[in-house]
Amino acid sequence: MTGGSGCVIWFTGLSGAGKSTLAEALGGYIRSRGEKVELLDGDIVRKVFPQTGFSKKERDEHIRRMGYLASILERNGVFVIASFISPYRESRDFVRGLCKNFVEVYVSTSLAECEKRDVKGLYRRARAGEISSFTGIDDPYEVPPSPEITIDTAGESVEESLESLVNKLKSLNILE
């Protein structure tokens, strides 16, 4: 693996794209190989810090804070698997700059597929005007111009997506 130096694997994409599911699967895979792993998930972190808002400024601050935390864990030899919508390119680039070993995973599942999944009912509520500043509906998602990995979870199982991800991480010398 990275020889104990840690790594930040940053999942980004729309709500419902499959980021958390794939991040959890990858965490289990890496942990089963005896590595230290921490998962930072947007939904879980927002439960701990419920006052985190959704304006552009608040989202940027949130991602910068989580990126800083990820970089500290990375310096201590931890594989950090971060799963955040992180809609703005500038914030993701800021996090990349903090980290020594940073891998951006763009979960490129289409808006139509994410809306079809809508397990939390968020897209329905956003379309009904009950939620404002919802990424992909009335707030932009800036697609990463050159992520290390792009995965579309539509039409493939979690296991298939995980296999593609692991193979790519091996080719980048992140995993053995």
Of 71, 86, 91, 108, the active-site residue reads 86
- Residue 86 a catalytic site member: yes
Compute how many other C-beta atoms are within 10 angstroms of the C-beta atom of residue 105.
26
| Greatest pairwise CA separation for the chain in angstroms | 50
User: Sign (positive/negative) of CA torsion 15, 152, 173, 146?
Assistant: negative
User: Sign (positive/negative) of CA torsion 62, 64, 68, 74?
Assistant: positive
Query: In 55-143, where do the E strands start and end?
Result: 79-83, 102-107
* Pairing of the two strands 7-12 and 102-107: parallel
Angle at 163 between CA 161 and CA 169, to 5 degrees: 105
Active site residues: 86
